[in-house]
């Protein structure tokens, strides 16, 4: 019994300076009991529950303070991330193709192979678009050339038709002029023939009358 009492007295033989350090702050609680052994801490917690209760309270306060600091750090990180998302772009980009940095905290970043396949697909689509645009330009140029050729052919055809019409008109005028001339010549010949026949008829009548007179 005396041995236990002596041990209890030894346990509570704490220097005066350690009590002041305990009241100085909650974070210094583990250093106040660093000089005690495990057996002294065990007996002290059993026989003096009043001394052990502030220690548990101090540890609970420390855990609450740690949780509060963790929560504050998480809030600050989330606010920094929101500011990063809403910041203006440096080089005027639309923010759609920022790669893994833009997807931080939102989704899984794209792998190298996925990024390579996406870039290859974009390059292929761009090449196909350029080929299609070039083909459309060639088709438009061909249509324009065909239209120009058709216009030239139409102009040449109109010129040729005009030349043919002019030639036919000249031939018609020539035929008309020659016809009038031929008609006049024929009319003159017919008139001359009629005059000759009339003269011959008169001569024949005179000969008949003369022969009749001579017979009488």
Domain ranges of the chain: 2-82, 170-216
Which pLDDT does position 136 carry in this prediction?
A: 95
Across 17-26, 68-77, 129-138, 166-175, least confident range:
17-26
Residue 213 CB burial class (10 angstroms; 0-12, 13-18, ≥19): exposed
Cβ distance 48 to 14 under 8 Å?
Answer: no
Which pLDDT does position 26 carry in this prediction?
A: 44
Global pTM reads 0.30
65 Cβ partners below 8 Å, 6+ apart? 26
Q: For 84-123, write each residue's pLDDT tens digit.
A: 555 555 544 444 444 444 444 444 556 888 989 999 999 9
3-state secondary structure 17-84: HHHHHHHHCHHHHHHHCCCCCHHHHHHHHHHCHHHHHHHHHHHHHHHHHHHHHHHHHHHHHHHHHHHH
Across 52-61, 126-135, 153-162, 197-206, least confident range:
52-61
Greatest extent of the chain over all pairs of C-alpha atoms, in Å? 228
pLDDT at 212 over 90: no
> At residue 138, what are phi and psi to the nearest 5 degrees?
-65, -40
CA-nearest of 19, 20, 77, 78 to 51 is 19
Q: What is the DSSP letter of 108?
A: P
pLDDT at 1 over 50: no
Q: What is the DSSP letter of 87?
A: S
The packing angle between helices 38-47 and 2-11, to 10°, is 100
The whole-angstrom separation of Cα 59 and Cα 4 is 29
H/E stretch holding 212: helix 112-215
Across 10-24, 150-164, 171-185, least confident range:
10-24
The whole-angstrom separation of Cα 18 and Cα 16 is 6
141 vs 95, residue with greater confidence: 141
């Amino acid at each position: 019994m005396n041995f236990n009492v002596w041990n209890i007295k030894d346990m509570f033989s704490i220097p005066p300076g350690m009590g002041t350090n305990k009241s100085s702050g909650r974070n210094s609680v583990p250093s106040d009991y660093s000089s005690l052994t495990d057996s002294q801490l065990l007996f002290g917690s059993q026989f003096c529950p009043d001394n052990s209760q502030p220690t548990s309270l101090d540890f609970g306060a420390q855990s609450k303070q740690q949780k509060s600091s963790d929560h504050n750090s998480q809030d600050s990180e989330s606010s920094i991330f929101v500011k990063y998302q809403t910041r203006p772009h440096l080089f005027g980009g639309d923010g759609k193709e920022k790669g893994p940095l833009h997807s931080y905290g939102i989704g899984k970043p794209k792998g190298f192979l996925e990024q390579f396949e996406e870039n290859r697909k974009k390059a292929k689509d761009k090449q196909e678009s350029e080929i299609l645009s070039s083909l459309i330009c060639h088709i438009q140029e061909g249509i324009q050339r065909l239209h120009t050729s058709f216009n030239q052919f139409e102009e040449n055809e109109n010129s040729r038709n005009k030349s043919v019409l002019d030639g036919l008109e000249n031939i018609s005028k020539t035929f008309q002029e020659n016809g009038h001339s031929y008609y006049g010549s024929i009319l003159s010949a017919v008139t001359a023939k009629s005059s000759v026949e009339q003269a011959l008829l008169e001569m024949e009548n005179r000969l008949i009358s003369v022969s009749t007179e001579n017979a009488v």
